[in-house]
Structure 1
């Protein structure tokens, strides 16, 4: 679980986060949505420890990040997996080497043990025959699955995903969504996803946080978001003609 309380973050005279409080439970997919400039990326980077808030605190489990010693922060970092927007794979490394990279950094294991773990997670993301391929030799969807495998190879308690469906076609994006949700449930991970993809919201939005102008304007789940009368939320979520038609059909009971 991650608990955020009264989080404030500014840059010079610009207030970006303005008192955000929420909780992300383990074993479920927690989505952060909102317009560009709403504070989503800054919020995510605060939880990752890349930005230090001026006020408020972030608790991982029962421990406040701000109160952790440098040693405990390093230990916490080992428990965090990250799926980057562009995949962020090392072009000069094979799939196997990319996935093994966190193990080389953090794990105290033999080469054989690390390879066994790499093969285990590659099998979990359905990439059993890709070990010796380079990122340039595989599709964008496969690259995202490699990124997910790398993120979970150290058995993290917390998984952060920044626009994991960026650049993918709708069918592949759904595969990635489902994979992230399956892994979240299977390993009881606290997963936080920063996304613009409304398909993701409706498919895997077990907890949805909507930010507007640095404030938490709404929170709920994919079922409640269909029923909310919060105009700011509905204008954003149903901004496309397709989703507006879907909502009208739902309201009419089709």
Structure 2
């Protein structure tokens, strides 16, 4: 579990990007951060990752306040975090297997044979059989995302962060990636946080949804309650895509 208490973040000057956010991200659930461009999603995610130091407030990881930990304990905590980047961020010159083994080489003292065995366990888990020796340029975008997910979970993280994991994927592949992330979250009891603008992802796996608006937490709930949100900003965001405009029109017509 990650608890956020009155989080504020600025970069000099009077204007804050994050303006006192308090929320909880639950273990074993897919927690989504959504909002329009400029709402503070990326800054919020970087604060959660420890890349930005909050101006005020606290972030607690299973009861531990990051800002109160020693440098050594902060490093240990960061090692418990997995990250799936928007563009996958794979090393072009490394094979699939080498990309996935990389965190093990960086953060563990395992022998190469042990690292390879663990890499193959997660390769199997994300359905990338027979791709071990391929380079990123030799596989599809969807497969690259699977490699990124495998690399993110190879160290058995307690916390998994995903930044726009469906970026650049076709709708069918995007749904498969969403479902894979959710399955892994449930299976390994990870606290997963996904930064997204994709309403299809929201409706597919949005077990806990945090909606940011101009640096404020404007609404939170689930995919079951988002259509009933009493908030114009949330409503406008939800119905911004053509698909959900049609859903809304159908609901209005049915109720007339």
**Corresponding position of 2:91:** 90
**Corresponding position of 1:164:** 165
Counterparts of residues 41-56 of structure 1 (less than 5 Å): 41-56=42-57
**Corresponding position of 2:129:** 128
Q: Which blocks of at least 5 consecutive residues in structure 2 are unaligned?
A: none
Q: What's the secondary structure of 2:98's corresponding residue?
A: helix
Instruction: Measure, in 1, the Cα distance between the counterparts of 2:157 and 2:117.
Output: 17
Task: Say if 2:20 is the partner of 1:19.
Answer: yes
**Corresponding position of 2:229:** 228
Instruction: Measure, in 2, the Cα distance between the counterparts of 1:50 and 1:195.
Output: 19
Q: Give the alignment's Cα RMSD to 1 decimal.
A: 1.0
Instruction: Measure, in 2, the Cα distance between the counterparts of 1:47 and 1:232.
Output: 24
The alignment covers a number of residue pairs equal to 253
Q: CA deviation at 1:250?
A: 4.4
Can you list the C-alpha shifts for 1:22-80, whole angstroms capped at 9, x where unaligned?
Answer: 00000000000001010000000001111011100000001000001011011111110
Moved more, 142-151 or 11-20: 11-20
Task: Say if 2:10 is the partner of 1:10.
Answer: yes
**Corresponding position of 1:238:** 239
Moved more, 103-112 or 2-11: 103-112
Task: Say if 2:182 is the partner of 1:189.
Answer: no
8 Å contact 1:38–1:212 — kept in the other structure? yes
Q: Which blocks of at least 5 consecutive residues in structure 1 are unaligned?
A: none
Instruction: Measure, in 2, the Cα distance between the counterparts of 1:24 and 1:202.
Output: 18
Moved more, 207-216 or 227-236: 227-236
Q: What's the secondary structure of 1:223's corresponding residue?
A: coil
Q: CA deviation at 1:229?
A: 2.4
**Corresponding position of 2:218:** 217
Instruction: Measure, in 2, the Cα distance between the counterparts of 1:153 and 1:83.
Output: 12
Can you list the C-alpha shifts for 1:176-206, whole angstroms capped at 9, x where unaligned?
Answer: 0000000000000000000011100000000
Question: Deviating runs (4+, > 4 A) in structure 1?
Answer: none
8 Å contact 2:227–2:238 — kept in the other structure? no
**Corresponding position of 1:29:** 30
Q: What's the secondary structure of 1:9's corresponding residue?
A: strand
Instruction: Measure, in 2, the Cα distance between the counterparts of 1:227 and 1:215.
Output: 20
Q: What's the secondary structure of 1:211's corresponding residue?
A: strand
